[in-house]
Structure 1
């Protein structure tokens, strides 16, 4: 079936985001050549693809606003979803987007060792959440995309719930999942389920969900990799003492609180 093939292809793209790069860097050869050029890890082909693929998916989602094959595809996926799950309703997706973050702090609480301490991890979460929220809110304003279930609501693209879910799943992967792949699989499974529920609830198009997943992933990866360099620029050990926490207020207002310990 043509429609089924389109749906399967785009769902595979979403699931592809849920596969973290767990390949370990290869060990240096024993007889290294002095003066040989050093290949920066962020310039390797896998690293470039990890950035390029999500960016392309966000661009494709934005392009689906116009009448083209992407717009037709998301309409077809929505029709099939409503046909197969006409009575699906849940508020579980409001909570699952935070599950990977809660799991990370739970692992801290039981004393599990990860890549960084709780303070740097919290700072990375606060900064990446601020970056993701800024990108999502501005894209919602610029794209002015109609939600599938409410004709008067033009804040569909991209999905903020899915962005949050993939952001927290990526941080869980980076903090604890490198040596424990099952944690990464669990985190990204919950994130993927969150995106699926946003579609089953008829709150988002498939392109909204894919773009949200891409933004959350990129925001977390960007901050996680830049944070050590930024922390080294701070005087003394201030980088280890800073704690940036997101704040929420009624009406959807998002802010941040900077704490020095």
Structure 2
């Protein structure tokens, strides 16, 4: 009996001695608390973001393409030259001339004010919208006139050598881009209407023999870029009050067959 017990005890010792290395390897891993607050939301760090998804790239890629095409076709270059475009335009409009382009450059801003007065909530409040407009205008005017006086491109009608780029087109596309940014969350049609007007300005500048195609394409790019840079460099510090909030517009009749509108504003 003693021999049997000793044999069983020896067998148990062999079993446990064989398991001890495996048991020694299974140790509890201490919780790593040194990095648990570095990325609590599970969002990829900014360093891993793709460069083509950045705000700067998305804001500059389209206007850069337009300005690049304008520079490519500048002074008779490109696969479709300024002279060829001017010839084709005046085949379609040989005698048509108008001053409508001088008026249309203001229409996108009029649309901005009218839509806001109608009560549609804009992206920015009153003061910030005016500051963005002022900043965009400053960028656009400085860029446009610096290029005009450095390139000395002669206009198609030979009136002067301030053809490149088109200031009318830059102005119209700057305003259209601001309209699009302010109201795109409400409806894309506001921006579509503004860009249609701006495109009409560009077309009329060529029809009126005031600009080459390179001028208007580059002008469109400068206008859009000026708007985007104004927004990228701006910080809203005056609240988020819409430029259309607390403003009412209603039709009115003033007698003697004179219609009109009344505008009311409730100050806070």
TM over 0.5: yes
User: Which residue of the other structure, out of 165, 180, 186, is the alignment partner of 1:179?
Assistant: 186
Unaligned runs of 5+ in 2: 1-39, 242-268
Whether the aligned pair in 1 keeps the contact of 2:148 and 2:162 (CA below 8 Å) is yes
Whether the aligned pair in 2 keeps the contact of 1:41 and 1:47 (CA below 8 Å) is no
Partner of 1:159: 166
Partner of 1:69: 78
**CA distance in structure 1 between the partners assigned to 2:231 and 2:215 by the alignment:** 24
**CA distance in structure 2 between the partners assigned to 1:45 and 1:74 by the alignment:** 34
Whether the aligned pair in 2 keeps the contact of 1:169 and 1:191 (CA below 8 Å) is yes
Unaligned runs of 5+ in 1: 1-31, 241-261
User: Which residue of the other structure, out of 198, 211, 221, is the alignment partner of 1:214?
Assistant: 221
Partner of 2:197: 190
Flag the 1:183–1:141 CA change in 2: closer, same or farther, 3 A.
same
- Helix, strand or coil: the match of 2:150? helix
- Helix, strand or coil: the match of 2:131? helix
- Helix, strand or coil: the match of 1:113? coil
Q: TM-score under structure 1 normalisation?
A: 0.69
After superposition, give the CA deviation of every residue in 1:29-77 in whole Å (9 maximum; x if it has no partner).
xxx952522477985168625413422432342343445335x611101
Flag the 1:33–1:93 CA change in 2: closer, same or farther, 3 A.
same
Whether the aligned pair in 2 keeps the contact of 1:62 and 1:157 (CA below 8 Å) is no
**CA distance in structure 2 between the partners assigned to 1:66 and 1:95 by the alignment:** 28
- Report deviation, 1:180: 0.5
Moved more, 39-48 or 97-106: 39-48
Whether the aligned pair in 1 keeps the contact of 2:125 and 2:240 (CA below 8 Å) is no
**CA distance in structure 2 between the partners assigned to 1:201 and 1:181 by the alignment:** 30
**CA RMSD of superposed structures (Å):** 2.7
Query: Does 2:57 correspond to 1:48?
Result: yes
Whether the aligned pair in 2 keeps the contact of 1:62 and 1:143 (CA below 8 Å) is no
Flag the 1:67–1:107 CA change in 2: closer, same or farther, 3 A.
closer
Flag the 1:194–1:35 CA change in 2: closer, same or farther, 3 A.
closer
Whether the aligned pair in 1 keeps the contact of 2:59 and 2:228 (CA below 8 Å) is no
Flag the 1:104–1:215 CA change in 2: closer, same or farther, 3 A.
same
**CA distance in structure 2 between the partners assigned to 1:205 and 1:67 by the alignment:** 10
**CA distance in structure 1 between the partners assigned to 2:44 and 2:59 by the alignment:** 26
Partner of 2:264: none
Whether the aligned pair in 2 keeps the contact of 1:65 and 1:143 (CA below 8 Å) is no
Partner of 1:80: 88
- Helix, strand or coil: the match of 2:136? helix
After superposition, give the CA deviation of every residue in 1:4-47 in whole Å (9 maximum; x if it has no partner).
xxxxxxxxxxxxxxxxxxxxxxxxxxxx9525224779851686
After superposition, give the CA deviation of every residue in 1:145-190 in whole Å (9 maximum; x if it has no partner).
010012x510000000000110000000111123201111111111
Count of residue pairs the alignment pairs up: 201
